[in-house]
């Protein structure tokens, strides 16, 4: 088992990364101090891991909420389902909430924990690569709004993160790839050495080599923990974690939650950000190709799906949280391994990137 600490201004919390952690009773009970425990999970994860996880809490007042799977259910309505049950069962402010699942479950359960009685403790048990390397670390919780992703939320840190790597064996290929998009992101924004390691080990990762995956998860979490420690509330450097996310969120919102996975949207968004970085003179065109090749080897999509015009795309980008009073602000790459802090980018230039990406769909010779 590998252990990391996330160090924040006024608290710290551990991340455990390893095989078969859900079988480790000492670990699974160490951070759950309450008699009242609620597990929030979904229909895909529950048949796989719920029995194993809940076995550790048989002596508690245990409640389980099983939500439908998918980003479309990361809503205030789902949060209300959690609040309803917590209140029906008279759960007090000392009750502990466990998020068992991917990023959607972690974000939703974390937001519910942040709000219930103004905050109850919660533990993240991420079961997807994406949530293990990204959403379970850093304390961003949220639900979606029809007009924008993650628009209602809270900065709220978990008590602990338990990342059982064995869960990655049941992940489908598409979800694995989606996680790799965020892994690659850490290399791109701040860790050239890691990016090069990924170039050398992508086949092992795609083949789910346990040692390679553990290294990728640990290195990603280390990178994220360092950024979050510097800037918990995203006033500066933390925003660089959003490379590709403004484009990505616009795709997710514009195509309807669930049409593309978050990681897939981030992969496409990363390439759009790279294209824009190159138009602004930061990145070599050869670097865009280098990024694209790695994304392709990770089985990630690299072209914008049909269904959004450049204008619609821009419209959805206009509600991004990094924007300031109508000015679009994006994370771009100075080079592979170094991101630029959020910068205002002229709409016309973004549109050039979008038009050239979306033009690929049009049959040659058409308008």
Indicate left, alpha or beta for 260 from its phi (over 0: left) and psi (-120 to 50: alpha): beta
| C-beta of 66 vs 318, nearer to a second copy | 318
Q: Which residues bind a second copy (CB under 8 A)?
A: 9-10, 34-36, 61, 76, 80, 83-84, 87-88, 90, 92-95, 114-119, 140, 142, 145, 147-148, 150-155, 233, 318-319, 321-326
Q: Which residues of 204-216 are buried (b: 16+ CB within 10 A; e: fewer)?
A: ebbeeeeebbbbb
Q: Residues 6 or more apart from 363 whose CB is under 8 A from it?
A: none
Q: Which residues pair with 142 in a beta bridge?
A: 153
Min. distance of Cβ 250 from a second copy in angstroms? Answer: 13
| C-beta of 140 vs 292, nearer to a second copy | 140
Min. distance of Cβ 113 from a second copy in angstroms? Answer: 11
For residues 11 and 228, is the Cβ–Cβ distance under 8 A? no
| C-beta of 22 vs 91, nearer to a second copy | 91
Min. distance of Cβ 111 from a second copy in angstroms? Answer: 8
Q: Strands 36-42 and 61-67: what pairing?
A: parallel
What CA–CA distances, in Å, run from 196 to 72, 81, 209, 331?
Answer: 35, 44, 18, 21
Give DSSP secondary structure letters for 14-29: EEEEETTGGG-HHHHH
Q: Which residues pair with 153 in a beta bridge?
A: 142
| C-beta of 117 vs 302, nearer to a second copy | 117
For residue 295, the SS3 value is: helix
How far is it, in rounded angstroms, from Cα 120 to Cα 347?
42
Name which of 68, 56, 138, 153 is nearest 98 in CA terms.
56
Min. distance of Cβ 84 from a second copy in angstroms? Answer: 8
| C-beta of 136 vs 150, nearer to a second copy | 150
Min. distance of Cβ 320 from a second copy in angstroms? Answer: 8
Q: Strands 329-330 and 343-344: what pairing?
A: antiparallel
Tell me which residues are annotated as active site.
Answer: 118, 140, 182, 224, 234, 238, 242, 245, 249, 262
| C-beta of 147 vs 286, nearer to a second copy | 147
| C-beta of 152 vs 259, nearer to a second copy | 152
How far is it, in rounded angstroms, from Cα 249 to Cα 65?
27
Min. distance of Cβ 140 from a second copy in angstroms? Answer: 7
Min. distance of Cβ 244 from a second copy in angstroms? Answer: 19
Name which of 293, 219, 227, 305 is nearest 265 in CA terms.
305
For residues 135 and 156, is the Cβ–Cβ distance under 8 A? no
For residues 120 and 94, is the Cβ–Cβ distance under 8 A? yes
């Amino acid at each position: 088992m590998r252990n990391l600490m996330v160090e924040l201004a006024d608290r710290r919390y551990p991340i455990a990364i390893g095989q078969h952690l859900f079988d480790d009773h000492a670990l699974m009970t160490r951070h759950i101090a309450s008699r009242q425990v609620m597990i929030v999970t979904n229909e895909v994860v529950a048949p796989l891991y719920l029995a194993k996880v809940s076995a550790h809490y048989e002596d508690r007042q245990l409640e389980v909420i099983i939500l439908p799977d998918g980003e479309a259910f990361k809503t205030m309505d789902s949060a209300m389902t959690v609040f309803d049950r917590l209140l029906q069962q008279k759960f007090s402010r000392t009750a502990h909430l466990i998020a068992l699942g991917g990023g959607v479950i972690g974000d939703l359960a974390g937001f519910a924990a942040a709000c219930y009685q103004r905050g109850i403790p919660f533990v993240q048990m991420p079961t997807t690569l994406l949530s293990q390397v990204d959403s379970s670390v850093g304390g961003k919780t949220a639900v979606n709004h029809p007009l924008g992703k993650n628009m209602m939320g809270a900065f709220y840190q978990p008590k602990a993160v338990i990342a059982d790597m064995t869960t990655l064996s049941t992940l489908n290929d598409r979800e694995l790839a989606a996680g790799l998009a965020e892994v690659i992101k850490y290399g791109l924004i701040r860790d050239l050495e890691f990016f090069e390691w990924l170039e050398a080990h992508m086949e092992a990762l795609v083949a789910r080599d346990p040692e390679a995956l553990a290294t990728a998860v640990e290195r990603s979490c280390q990178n994220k923990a360092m950024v979050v420690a510097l800037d918990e509330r995203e006033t500066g450097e933390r925003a660089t974690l959003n490379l590709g996310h403004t484009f990505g969120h616009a795709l997710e919102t514009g195509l309807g939650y669930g049409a593309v996975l978050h990681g897939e949207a981030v992969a496409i968004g990363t390439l759009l950000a790279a294209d824009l970085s190159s138009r602004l003179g930061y990145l070599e065109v050869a670097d865009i190709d280098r990024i694209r090749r790695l994304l392709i080897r990770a089985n990630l999509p690299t072209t914008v799906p049909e269904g959004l015009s450049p204008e619609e795309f821009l419209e959805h980008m206009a509600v991004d949280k990094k924007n300031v009073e109508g000015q679009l602000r994006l994370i771009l790459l100075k080079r592979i391994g170094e991101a630029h802090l959020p910068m205002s980018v002229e709409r016309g230039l973004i549109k050039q990137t979008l038009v050239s990406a979306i033009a690929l769909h049009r049959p040659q010779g058409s308008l």
